[in-house]
Amino acid sequence: MRFLTLLIPILLFLGNCISRQIPIPKDRLTPGVFKPKGSGKPISYLIYYPKSYYSDQWTRLPLLLFLHGKGERGQDLKLLSNQGLPKSIQNGEEFPFLLIAPQLPVSEESWYTDELLDLIGHVKDLVRVDEERIYLTGLSMGGNGAWKLAMHSPETFAGVIPISGYGDSSHACALKDTPVWSFHGAKDKLILPERTIEIHERLSLCNPQAKITIYPEAGHDAWTETYSNPDVLNWLVSQRKKKLKN
pLDDT greater at residue 5 or residue 198: 198
Lowest mean pLDDT among 14-18, 77-81, 129-133, 167-171: 14-18
pLDDT attached to residue 54: 84
Going along the chain from its start, the domains and CATH numbers come out as: 27-237 (3.40.50.1820)
Residue-level pLDDT at 28: 80
Q: Which residue has the higher pLDDT, 76 or 246?
A: 76
Percent of the chain with pLDDT over 90: 78
| pLDDT given for residue 223 in this prediction | 98
Q: Which residue has the higher pLDDT, 142 or 242?
A: 142
pLDDT at 21 over 50: no
Q: What pTM, to 2 d.p., does this model score?
A: 0.87
pLDDT confidence of residue 243: 60
Q: Output the pLDDT for position 27.
A: 67
pLDDT score for 22: 44
pLDDT at 26: 54
- Give the whole-angstrom CA distance, residue 146 versus residue 21: 34
Question: Does residue 56 carry a pLDDT above 90?
Answer: no
Q: Is the pLDDT of residue 20 over 60?
A: no
Residue 138 phi/psi, 5-degree rounding, is -165, 155
Q: What pLDDT is recorded for position 7?
A: 47
Q: What is the pLDDT of residue 195?
A: 98
With contact defined as beta carbons under 8 Å apart, do 101 and 86 qualify? yes
First to last CA, the chain: 61
For residue range 70-118, what is the model confidence (pLDDT) as tens digits? 999 999 999 999 999 999 999 999 999 999 999 999 999 999 899 999 9
List, for residues 116-128, the tens digit of each pLDDT value.
Answer: 999 999 999 999 9
Residues 139 and 71: their CA atoms lie apart, in Å, by 11
Q: Kindly state the percentage of the chain with pLDDT values over 70.
A: 87
Q: pLDDT band for position 17 (50/70/90)? A: very low
- HEC profile of the chain: CHHHHHHHHHHHHHHHHHHCCCCCCCCCCEEEEECCCCCCCCEEEEEECCHHHHHCCCCCEEEEEEECCHHHCCCCHHHHHHCHHHHHHHCCCCCCCEEEEEECCCCCCCCCCHHHHHHHHHHHHHCCEEEEEEEEEEECHHHHHHHHHHHHCHHHCCEEEEECCCCCHHHHHHHCCCCEEEEEECCCCCCCHHHHHHHHHHHHHHCCCCEEEEECCCCCCCHHHHHCCHHHHHHHHCCCCCCCCC
Whether residue 222 has pLDDT greater than 90: yes
